[in-house]
Amino acid sequence: MTKHSPTYRTFDIVLAPFPFFDSPGGKIRPCLVLSSHDYFNKLVNQCTIAMITSAKNSSWPYDIKISDPLRCGLAKPCVIRLRLLTIPNNIVLKPLGKLSSSDRLRVQEGLQKIFHDLPLFTPSPVQSIKEFQP
């Protein structure tokens, strides 16, 4: 019998290893799930994440301050850094919480700026899920 890893939903905050090219092994850190549960995470058993950091020593364009870190399962003030990565679901260590509605809107705005030249769309209700399956 095949064992399936838990899958995560868009705007879940999880604890996962986040690799860095300049340091082997990376760092265990909170991350924000960005990819769709139904159209990606469940189908390929992976999820696309953005890192969450305290950002004490640096900043990036479009860093998004988390308005209520405690509600999200975070112990201290943090920002969502739109540094993106796709990881297997089975390396996620645990779920921490959910991002608030107001913070979700700011993440969407940041992603729209980053992917400004990419023709993104929202599927209409008429389109079947089969159109999006590999």
Task: Dump pLDDT digits (tens) for 3-15.
Answer: 557 889 999 999 9
Domains of the chain, first to last: 12-132 (2.30.30.110)
Task: Name the residue with tokens 């995560």.
Answer: 8
Sheet of 94-98: strands edge to edge?
A: 64-65, 79-88, 46-53, 23-33, 12-20, 94-98
Task: Give, in order, the Cα–Cα distances in Å from 88 to each of 8, 18, 41, 56, 78.
Answer: 11, 12, 9, 28, 24
Q: How far apart are CA 26 and CA 6, in angstroms?
A: 22
pLDDT score at 2 = 44
pLDDT score at 126 = 46
Asked if residue 81 lies in contact with residue 65, where contact means CB atoms within 8 angstroms, the answer is: no
79-120 tens-digit pLDDT: 999 999 999 999 999 999 999 999 999 999 999 988 888 776
**Cα torsion 7, 18, 15, 92: sign:** positive
pLDDT score at 3 = 52
pLDDT score at 6 = 81
30-76 tens-digit pLDDT: 999 999 999 999 999 999 999 999 978 788 888 999 999 999 999 99
